[in-house]
Structures are given as structure tokens and as C-alpha cells.
Structure 1
Amino acid sequence: MPPLVFLVMLLALTARADAESRLELESGDGRAGPLSWRSASLVYLPGGGPEPDGASQWRLRVDGLAWQDWRGSVAIDCAVGGLRAGLPWCHQGEFEWLGADGAGRLAGRLLRPEGASDLAFALEGDTLTGSLSWPDPSGSPLPGVRVMLQGFDLTSPPGSLVEAMGLSVLEGRLDGQIEVESGGLSFDLALADGAFDRPDGLVAGAGLAVSLRGEVEDLGDLGELGFSAALSQRAGELLAGPVYLPSPERPLELELSGSVADGRRIQVDSLALDDGGLVEADGGFTLAMGEGGWRLAELIVERARLEFPGAWRRWGDGLASSRGFGDLETDGEVSAALAWRSGDLQSFRVDFEAVDVRDAAGRAAIDSLEGSFDRSKDDLRAELTWDALELFSLAFGSSRLAAAGEPSAWGLIEPLRLPLLDGAFVVERLAVQGADSAQRSLTLDAHIAPLELSALTEMLGFPTFSGQLSGSFPGVQVSGDRIAFSGGIDIRAFSGGIRLGDLVIERPFGSLPALAAQVEIERLDLAELTGAFNFGHMEGEVSGWMRDLRLLDWRPVAMDARLYTHEDVPSRRISQRAVENLSRLGGGAAALGATVLRMFEEFPYRRAGLACRLDRNICHIDGVAPHESGGFYIVEGRGLPHLDVVGHRRLVDWPRLVAQLVAMTEG
């Protein structure tokens, strides 16, 4: 141990054969290589003859001993010992190792049986025993060391040593042996009930049952060391950042071998991982020391295979949960290979075989995904097929995706058709630019082949609409968390048209998604529209707009909206229920007695409409024309029975208005 260097220097200068002599030395602050100390003392009582009868007694104490982050003290009391060939020896003695401020204690005894050349040592309780063999002058310059552990308590070492390892907790029982011989090191250890934790809580383990064996060669060569190791984990939980590994059902096996060069480069030439058949991988990696510490210089995965759902539950679920996609249901098999060097992806390939993924929150699902994605330094190619795809309750049928190009710029090589009910969503063109950079962007042209609205609204859980839905989506641009529909969207529904212009969506899957658009409505059939929303029956056609529409978290926060009917439509009638609902929205009443109103089911009207300018959660309401009372017409009647609906409430609390609309359509 390093303090013995200090002892050897003193003994070499002061050893005497006078049996009655006594030597006491004290030292203040000192340093020897990486070691430093605050004070040291030596008491030496030389013996009167050859060992063991003439053996000497010596005591050494070093306080404030420091090595890197460790602080503490060392005391050795050798009752029978001496000096031979410049090195101390001890037939019988005791030692104590204390951490700073009493944080941890190791104590034990030293013993060299008569006639033996090795120095034996043991901790109190004999949980750690070992021996030290003096080196052969013609062989390795390092002594031989053998350490045996039997139920060694990992809470025994000083707390400062645990802190020096970057840990706040270290627990468990250790069995096995460590041996240094002929310039090499070998170890065979078993950990039971192991636990560790870092102060930040990001890396931890509990209930660990692990065996570790390996060796290090050419220990005396300062240029390069060769090593190999094999680890087997039979039980225990592990946490590394967002990755949580529950206790394995079958042992996790890890084998690796490589070398360390100049203490600044660790190269693992061979690595094999087998996590109970759920995850298998072969490859290697290189770590290099730089100005900012250790960094990954190279990673090679020659073969990796993941068997779902087991592999996902152990390795993927924790990471996905931190991204908001926890509890995914998975099945199938994925295999992959990868080569990465100095920050540059050289190649990557992943193959899917009967892979199923389903989000428990109902946001997305895919069934029987097959095919491959292959990316080299210069080329990219993807060929994927699936039987079914679900996105937010939209159930698409089987499809095929084929794409190719360069890693930084690729696109579809044929249209992607996603069947939906009796129609389809078709991506005619898709191009990705800057795919390998932070400035990646995507553009596409798409259209909706006509869909029956009744079946689509039933699928989405909406009120049943009649008619057809179709539309075109030219010039859609996706960049980061922003989707811009530069070409606008044209939708055919309710026998009319809806156009969305200047549509921009931000953070669609993140927190507080936002939407901005200009909406134009042209001649929607009121009978179809009111029938779909259970608002009350109206006949005619309605047009209007929602200008400067702004949604936050999918709720309107600003708009200037107006809806109005057309007077050139022959059949314009409104039901009693629709009259009552419009009256409530405008804070007005029908200009017809309640008794008379109940006598008729429907009324002819000349024109009808409502306007709302939403600002700071207040809806500023208006109608189709001013009324002489100071109010406004919501419905202006014609013919007999003549009915006018006049509103008087100009300012309405927006959340209250929305609640009223919901209640009306559910009534």
C-alpha cells in the first residue's frame, strides 16, 4: 500500500541492530507522487537478532492522507516485523483505515506464518482476506496480490471512497477473488443484494445479483493494456436516465474484450450482449479522452435483434414514456446494423418482421409492418408495407411506401395511397430536404378521394353528417414542429365548399398546439348541416367566413366570423327548435307570441345569420341587419306565419356560449 513507501524510506535510513535502541520520527505536511498527508509519525524499536526472535516492533500513523478525492488516515501497528532488502516485513500486526471525519472504517490484522514468504492480511470478521507476495528481482517489478472476499459488506469502505466513485449509495455483499500475478490481473466476483445511486438520482440500481469475471494483461506496460470481461445479471433493477430496466426474467449476459492505450483511449473490439433472448447484439465501440472528457469516437453494431413485446418492455418503454408514448403495445421482431464514426453515420439498416405497435392512448397504431430501411453514407432506400394504420381514430387500410434518394434529400418514388372507408388519402408527392441536419423540412402534395361523410363521422365519433368529403392539399410544408399549408386546402362537404387558407399548425403533438387560418365557407346545404349537429331543422344555403382564426390547445382564442344565408334559394324554412336555439344564442326572442309559436312546426324566412368577433374570451355578436329597437335581426321572416328573431345581447362570454352550443346539439 502507498504509505509503506514512506515507511521503507525511513527504515532504510534508521534501521539498527541494537536491541535496546528506540527511534521516533514525526513529519508535517508532505507529498510523494499523487499522495499527500497532513502529518505522519513513526515509532521503531529494533530487535536484537535475526528474525523472528530478533524481530523489531514498529508503528506508523499517517493523518490527512489524500489521494484524488479520498481523504482519511492509515495506522499500522506491527508487533513482530522488520526490514529486509529495503522492504518492510511483518509477522504479526494490525492495521486501521479511517475515512475523513470518521466516515467509514476498515480494520484488520497482518500475519506471516513462520517460514512463509507471503504477507497475509484480513479484515475484522474475515470477510476480506488476502496475501502479498514479494516480487522476484528477475521477474515482474510488481508484487503479487491475492484477495479473497466472503460476504464482504460494501458499506464498509469509507464514505469518501464511495463519493470518489461519484455515488451517494453503495450496498451489497461481495464474494470471490482478485489476483495480481506476473504483471496481470484477474478477478471472479459475485454481487448479491447490490444497490447504488448517484446524488442526482439519474443512475441507480437495486436488488442486483451480478457475477463478473475477467482479466487485464500486461499490467506493468504503461503503453497499452489488454482486457476481457464477462458479466451476468440474474436479478435487479437498473436506471440510466430515462431508460429503466426491470429485473430480467432470464439472465442478461455481456461479454467484451479490448484494450486501453495511454489511459486516453478505450477500444472494445468485441462485444456480445444477450438479454435472455429478447435483445441480442454484437459489435464494438471506442471511447477517447478529449478536452471535455470521455466521448464516443466509434460505434459498430454488426447485428442486433429485438424480440417484441419483451424487448420493448425492458428497453424501450421507459424512454418512450419520457417522450409521452408510454404503455405501447408491441409485437414482432426488429433487426438492425449500424456504423458510426466521429459524429458521422456511415451506415444504418433496420428490418421489420410482422411488427405491431399500438398506442394505449389511441393516437396511433400499425399492424403487420414489414420491410426495410437502409441508409448508407450516399444512399437511402425504404420499402415498407403494412396491413392497417390508425391515426387519431382514422382507420386506414393496407399500404406500401417506397422511397429513395440521398440521406440529405429523398422522397417517394411512387404515390402513397392510404385507403380510408370508400375513399383514400393519397400523397402524390413527398420530398425531404436536409434530413440529416437540424434544418430538415418536408413538402408534399396530397388529396382526398371522395369519402362518404356519414361513415367518416361515425368512425370519428362525431354527429352523423351526410354528403361527401373531398379535398386537395397542395404545397404542404413541415419544418420542425411547424406545418404550413401554403397551397391552402379545398374541402367539399354538405354539398358546398370550405377553403382553408394561410393554414399553419405549430406543435401539433406537443404542449399547447396552435393553429392559424383563414376560412371561407361557400353555400353549404343547411338541411344537411343542421341535421348533422341536431340543432334544429333549417332549409337553405349558408356562406360565410372565419377570418384571422386562432386556436390554442385546439380551442378558439380569436376570430372574426360571420354566417349568412342566401336569398336566391327557393326553399328557405326554419323549425321551431332552431328558432328557440338561435334566440338563446343572441339573447333575444322570436317576434311572435309563445302560444302562436307552438302552433307551427316550421316558418319561412327571408334571411338569417350571426356574426361573432372573438376577443379576450368575449364574443361580440351581431346579426344580418339592424332592428329598429336597437337590436339586430338573427332571422328576418317572410310570408305567413311571419316570424322575426331579434337579438339584443351584444357581448357574450365565450366559454358560456360554447357550453350553450354543446347543450343545444346534445338536447
Structure 2
Amino acid sequence: MLPVSTRPWFVFVVAWCLVAWSGGAWATVSVEADALDVPGLSMSRMTADIGPADEGKGLTVRLSADRADVPSMGWKKLGVGLDGHLDRDEAGRWIFDGRVRLHGAPGGALTDASLRIVADESANTLEVSLIEDKAHAAVAFPLDQPTHAQITLKGLPAGWLQGLVSTVWAGRLTAGKVDADLALDLLDQSVQAAGQFALDGVAFEGQGGKLAGNRLSANGRVGFEKRDRGASIDLDGSLRGGELLLGPLYAALPAHPVQLSMSTASTQGALAIQRLRVTDPDALQLEGEMGFDAKGDLDRLNLDRFTARFPAAYTRYGTGLLRTFGIDGLAVSGGLAGSVSMDAKGLSDFSFQTDSLDLTLVGGRFGVSGLHGAVDWSATGERPPTTLGWRGLQMLTIPNGPAQGTWQSRDGTLALTRPMSVPVLDGQLRVLGLRWKPSASSGERLQTSLALTQVDMAALCRALGWPAFKGTVGGAVPNLRYVDDRVELGGGLSLNVFDGFVDITGMTLAHPFGDAPVVTGDVALRNLDLGLLTSVFDFGNITGRMSGAVEALRLVGWKPAAFNAHFLADQGGRISQQAVNNLTSVGGGGIAGGLQGTMLKIFKTFGYRHIGLSCVLKGDVCTMGGLGNARDGYTIVEGSGLPRLTVVGHQRDVDWPTLVRRLQAATEGDGPVVR
């Protein structure tokens, strides 16, 4: 066998010449070749059987190749089988009608397709048409310039183009149909294509699932060039419906057209979108660029200009990006314009302006209404001062009034230039200083110092859903920091309630924007008036003063997980019959130890010398204690005078949910009644 290097219709022409030379009286001829190489196509271990057709009209042709490669299409190691009828029509054109079967083509392409080839030497053209099911592909090129082709695709399964895609990207096409009219040129150092396209229900996914699309429909114009070191694509068109994932950017596209213009370049698996324009009329307009590394991670985003209209911009385009900043769920309305840049390390600069913006985190942990003004920040250098204010601000469930602050960015830190006063519950929150580092992914992100004055405790309780306590809240927080994903309270906060003080120290709040925030800290109670405290609840009246502490407090999802609590009233006072019964219930005593039921019916209040109660919570079990050990338990109330009162708790280890139910019953007026 001899190697062959010639045009692909070489075998047909040779066969026809044999017919003419022999006058048609000849048997089938078999031809074998080690290799056939033409521009854009190479085949090896080929065999061809050529013989006269029935009634001497043309030839039957059967051709096979063990391996065929089409580098421009990314097709490698294909098995090829072809058979059909070759003849010449009245106009002198060579026409081949038959079937082609490929083995191993991407997406199962052309496993059994009809094939028509028309060679017209007078018109200097060769046309190839392929039809399989509803898919149709046609290629036409000059006989004297086979490196230039005109390609038409109709209803082509997207998976058939997987080989072509693999030459520029490591992802894969999984669904959809493609229509296209393209001009293709095979040059010495590159492959170029340009033309119109339309996509219907296309789906794709990249390595690691960071670049993906689903049910995408689009149309427009595309230009493509592939070189040894990479490839580039220029696209101008519109998208309609479907979903698109580009790293942290997720888009749920609307049914109406979204205009898209972009220029991309890929090198060694990395993808750079060097020009990007998106216009979704009622949601988002933007211009900029972005880039992804070989793993599909976003390593550059520069939006030179964007204008967003909410809520459409958030629901269609913003959910994925905000999740990268720990914000998972947002209710937002209004408008916003600005710019933003980030790289693999995080944010590098942003600016925004708004006339009115309302937003609330899902769950109501944070919300702002009537946000207006501007912010301008950069990781380097200095930016001009800007003013930003709001009509209303909500932290947790605590409402705050209107306020406005002046901000300036220097060397990566956005700071208040002067103290800001925020009305809160008939009092004031003075923000004495605030420094925020938006680009910090670890370490200290925010630091502030606060002063709280004359906040109405009853209003605060209503906001938090607590029983209404009397008094005011005040204090100073000299240093509150947001470090890593944790808020740290430096110094402490002192609350003036019940004619005494509640001091909160060592407080931390981890994962503040997550589903299960974790709170730790210590709470000290100093000289609280028990009369004022017990009057808030339907617990029963106790007079005197109480101090205590809740140490090593740990809340998970705002629910107690651990603490060491102890409370002591050691200055004496009076305790009502109802309070005695409720304390007895909490301690699991069933009835006051050492007192008969008849005595409780006669006397409404009792004198006491000491009251003490403690609880150490670990897991779901609270270990109870009191003033000291007593027979079969621990003493809660040590009486004084006559009748002498002693309350004993008998249960040391109490299931925490059970204890909570007892406390709820006691404070809601459903405690035990002695008859």
C-alpha cells in the first residue's frame, strides 16, 4: 500500500477514469492507502471498493477508514464508513448520494446520516450536505481553495460541537440545538470563523461546576479564531430565558431579550472576557470585563459602569455575587448606580450612588429604608469624601431613626470623618468612630466605638418581644470589632434597669449573618430591685435586692447551649405565696419543704433571709443548685421570722426543655396553686 496525499475526491475521479478507459466493461476495483492528508482532514488505513452500478449508470462506492482526524473540529480517532452511488448529471457535475457512519464522534454525531456531495468543476465548487433525523449540516468551498468553507447548520444537536468546544475550553455541552451560517478559513497558523448563530435550550457545564448554563436560548453574530496558544471569540447578540453561572455570578434570565456583547480570549484553560456589555432594560445595564482561571474561579471583575433596578436586578443577577459576601437572601427595591472591581484576593474598589434604596436581609436581622447618597472606596490611595444617610435603620428588631454620615476612603479603610448620631427608642446612639476595611477577608474588618444614652427600656423590650421592663439603657462600648467572621465587644455595655445594673462583658457574635449565629459572653447583675423585676412578670412578688451572674454564656441560633448562672438575694425581704410556689416548681420540689399546705393558705407573704438559685447548663441538662445542701436536695429560700419558711429543690439534674416550660408557666401565671 502507498501513502496518498491529494484532494478528497481523488478516489472518485480515478475510478471514473478507469470506467472511461475500459469502456464500462470492468469488475469492481479495490483501492487501499496508508494515509490521506488534505487541509483540515487526515485519514489512515483506508480502503475503497469501486464498481459499476446497476444498468451501468455510474459507480457504487464503499469507503472506510480506521482513523480520521479533523483538528479544527476537535474530532480525533473517528472510525469512518461511507457507501453510495456516484454519477455525473447532464450539467457535468459529479454527484454522490449515500450514507456516512462515524464511530466515536462527540455527541454521537453522524452515526447514520444521509450524505450528498456535488462537485461542479465549471463553478469551481464542492458542496457537501449531511442530514440525520432533524439535523442538517451543509458545507461548500471552492475546488481550488479547500481551506475556505461556507457552513450552514440547522437543528444541530449542541453535543455534536463538543469537539470544537474542547479545542478552546475544558467544559462540555450537554443539551440544546444550534443553527448557524458561518464562513470558515483554515490558515497556516489559525482557524477563523464568523457568521450568524441561534441557540435553543442549550446547556453546558465546566470543570468543577463553576461555569455552567441551562436552557439558554440566544441569537446573534459571532466571530471565532483559534491559534496554537489559545482562542478568541467576539459575540454580539441577545439571550432569552435559561440560567447562567459564571463563577459567583448567577443569572436567571428573563423571557424577553437581554442584549449581550462580549469579546473573550482563552489560554491554557483560563478565560478572559475582555469586553462585556449587558442590557436588560428593566433590571440591569453594565459595562466591564472579567476573567476566570483554569479551575473556573473568578480572578478578575471590573464593572466600569452599572445601573441596577431592584428587585429585578437582584432576583435575576445578584443572588450569587452577594453570597460571596455572606448575604444569602435579600428583599430590595429602588435603584443603584456605580462601579466595582475585584480580583482573586477580593474587592479592590467600589462606588455607588442612590436616590432611594430599601433593603432587608431575609429574617429581618438588618434593614434600611430610604438609603440615599454615595460611597466611594478604594483599596489604595485616597478618595473624595461622600455623604450617605437613611430614613430608617433596623438592627435585629430594633428600629433606628434617620441619620447621615460623611465617609472617606484612605489606604483601603472607609471611615467616618466625624461622629454620627442615630436616634433609637427615645434615646441616642452616638457613633464616635467607625473604620471599615471592605477588602479584608480575615483579621479585623470593622472597628467602632459607641455611646448609648437614655434608651427607653420598655420600648426596647417591646421591640425584642420581651415583657416591658422599666428604666433606661445607657453605656459606652469603647471598642467593638468585626474580626474574621466574629463581632467582639471590647470593654462592656452597662444597662441601668430595675434600679440596678446589668453589665455585659467579653461578648462575641460569630457568623452574624449566618443561619446559626453563636453568641458568647458574660452577664453580671448588680443590686437589682426584686420588687421592680417581679412586677414585670406574673411570677409573684419578692422584695429586696439581687445580684448574680450568667458566666460562660453560649447561644447557638439565639438559643442557650451552655452557661453557668447563679443568683443571690442576701439582704432579706418578703416573698409572696405565689412566688414561693413558683420557686418550688422551678426547683422540682412540688411544695415548699418544711411548710404545711394550711400555712400557705393562711399567710400571703413570708419573710426571708436569703434566696439563692443556680443552674449549670451543659447540652440539654441543667444541674441545679441553691444556697447549700439540704436533706434530699438543696435550699432555695431560707426564711426568717414566723412562720419560718424554707424552700427546697429536690431535682438536681433537670432536662432543659422541661425547665424552660416550668419558667414559662411560672412567669405567665400558670404556676402551681396550693389548695
TM-score (ref. length: structure 2): 0.80
1:465 aligns to what SS in structure 2? coil
Unaligned runs of 5+ in 2: 671-675
Q: Select which of 640, 654, 657 maps to 1:655.
A: 657
Deviates more, 1:11-20 or 1:382-391: 11-20
Displacement of 1:7 in angstroms is 6.0
How many angstroms apart in 1 are the aligned matches of 2:238 and 2:504? Answer: 60
* Mean CA deviation greater in 328-337 or 54-63: 54-63
User: In 1, are the aligned partners of 2:240 and 2:258 still within 8 Å (CA)?
Assistant: yes
Matched, 1:214 2:222: yes
Partner of 1:282: 287
Residues 1:595 and 2:603 aligned together: no
Mark the CA change 1:28 to 1:664 in structure 2 (over 3 Å): closer, same or farther: farther
Report the secondary structure of 2:129's partner residue: strand
Q: Indicate whether 1:171 and 2:176 are aligned.
A: yes
1:251 aligns with 2:257: yes
Q: Identify the residue that residue 128 of structure 2 maps to in structure 1.
A: 121
Q: Which residue among 48, 60, 67 is the counterpart of 1:42?
A: 48
Could you say which residue in structure 2 is the equivalent of 1:460? 464
Partner of 2:667: 665
Q: Distance in 2 between matches of 1:4 and 1:233?
A: 47
Note if contact 1:171-1:196 (Cα within 8 Å) is conserved in structure 2. no
Is 1:562 matched up with 2:557? no
User: Cα deviations across residues 139-175 of structure 1 (Å, max 9, x unaligned)?
Assistant: xx6543223344x241784987899873362223x44
Match for residue 621 of structure 1 among 620, 624, 627? 624
TM-superposition CA deviations, 1:474-518 (whole Å, max 9, x none): 222321122222313322211111223333333333355433333
Contact 1:446 1:473 (8 Å CA) reproduced: yes
- Between the aligned partners of 1:121 and 1:396, the Cα distance in structure 2 is 73
Aligned mates of 1:111, 1:575 — CA distance in 2? 108
Instruction: State the SS of the aligned residue for 2:566.
Output: strand
Question: Aligned partners of 1:393 and 1:205: how far apart in 2?
Answer: 39
Q: Does 1:586 align with 2:587?
A: yes
Contact 1:169 1:198 in 2 (8 A): no
Counterpart pick for 2:373 among 368, 371, 374: 371
Whole-angstrom distance in 1 between the partners of 2:229 and 2:626: 88
Change (3 A) 1:414 1:517: same
Distance 1:523 1:5, change over 3 A: farther
Give the 5 Å matches for 1:397-546: 397-432=401-436, 435-436=439-440, 438-510=442-514, 512-546=516-550
- Go from structure 1 to structure 2 and tell me whether the alpha carbon gap of 1:77 and 1:433 turns closer, same or farther (over 3 Å shift): closer
Instruction: State the AA in 1 paired with 2:260.
Output: L
Distance 1:493 1:4, change over 3 A: farther
Q: CA deviation at 1:73?
A: 2.1
The counterpart of 2:309, out of the listed 304, 307, 310, is 307
Determine the structure 2 residue equivalent to 1:547.
551
Q: Is the 8 A contact 2:210 2:297 kept in 1?
A: no
State the alpha-carbon separation in 1 of the partners of residues 321 and 345 from structure 2. Answer: 22
Q: 1:7 to 1:386 in 2, by over 3 A?
A: same
For residues 518-562 of structure 1, give each alpha carbon's deviation from its aligned partner in whole angstroms, at most 9, with x where no partner exists: 332110111221122332211111011233334444444443322
Gaps of 5+ in 1: 48-52, 83-88
Q: 1:480 to 1:60 in 2, by over 3 A?
A: same
Cα contact 1:278–1:311 (8 A) shared by 2: yes
Deviations 1:325-371 (A, max 9, x none): 55532111111224567979664322223011123422221101112
Question: What letter corresponds to residue 118 of structure 2 in structure 1?
Answer: L
Cα distance, 1:71 vs structure 2: 4.6
Displacement after TM superposition at 1:222 (Å): 8.1
CA distance in 1, matches of 2:286, 2:418: 35
User: Aligned equivalents of 2:399 and 2:101: distance in 1?
Assistant: 69
Q: Secondary structure at the match of 2:526?
A: strand
Query: Against the structure 1 CA distance between its residues 124 and 156, is the aligned structure 2 distance closer, same or farther, given a 3 Å change threshold?
Result: farther
Q: Partner letter of residue 586 of structure 1?
A: G
User: How many residues align structurally?
Assistant: 638
- Preserved contact between residue 260 and residue 276 of structure 2 (Cα < 8 Å): yes
Matches of 1:556 and 1:266, distance apart in 2: 49
* Structure 1 position 112 matched with structure 2 position 154: no
Q: Supply the distance in 2 between the matched residues of 1:214 and 1:100 (Cα, whole angstroms).
A: 28
Q: Report the Cα distance in structure 2 between the residues aligned to 1:647 and 1:285, rounded to whole angstroms.
A: 68
Contact kept, 8 Å, 2:125 with 2:143, in 1: the verdict is no
Give yes or no for contact 1:170–1:197 (8 Å, CA) kept in 2: no
The AA in structure 1 aligned to 2:125 is D
Equivalent in 50, 64, 78 of residue 61 of structure 1: 64
- Matched residue type, 1:394: I
Counting only pairs closer than 5 Å after superposition, residues 341-360 of structure 1 correspond to structure 2 as 347-360=349-362
**CA-based RMSD:** 4.3
Residues 309 and 329, structure 1, Cα contact 8 Å, conserved in 2: yes
- Relative to structure 1, the CA distance from residue 294 to residue 608 in structure 2 (aligned partners, 3 Å threshold; closer, same or farther) is closer
Q: CA deviation at 1:17?
A: 5.1
Q: Secondary structure at the match of 2:172?
A: coil
Are 1:577 and 2:544 counterparts? no
Contact 1:516 1:551 in 2 (8 A): yes
CA distance in 1, matches of 2:305, 2:159: 42
Aligned-partner Cα distance in 2 for 1:537–1:69: 88
Distance 1:168 1:155 in 2: 6
When structure 1 is superposed on structure 2, of 506-515 and 415-424 the one drifting more is 506-515
How far apart in 2 are the matches of 1:286 and 1:612? Answer: 57
SS at match of 2:277: strand
The aligned runs of 1:316-331 (5 Å cut-off) are 316-317=318-319, 328-331=330-333
Pick aligned residue for 2:198 from 170, 187, 190: 190
- Give the superposition deviation at 1:472: 2.0
The answer on 1:74 being equivalent to 2:77 is no
Equivalences for 1:608-647 in 2 at 5 Å? 608-615=611-618, 617-627=620-630, 629=631, 631-647=633-649
* SS state at 1:378 partner: coil
Q: Provide closer, same or farther for how the CA distance between residues 293 and 576 of structure 1 changes in structure 2, counting only shifts above 3 A.
A: closer
Asked if the contact 2:624/2:652 (under 8 Å) is kept, the reply is yes
Q: CA deviation at 1:280?
A: 0.7
Return the offset for 1:636.
2.2
| 8 Å CA contact 1:281, 1:303 repeated in 2 | yes
- Structure 2 distance, partners of 1:543, 1:15, is 110
Change (3 A) 1:616 1:438: closer
Q: Which deviates more, 36-45 or 327-336? A: 36-45
SS at 2:254's partner residue?
coil
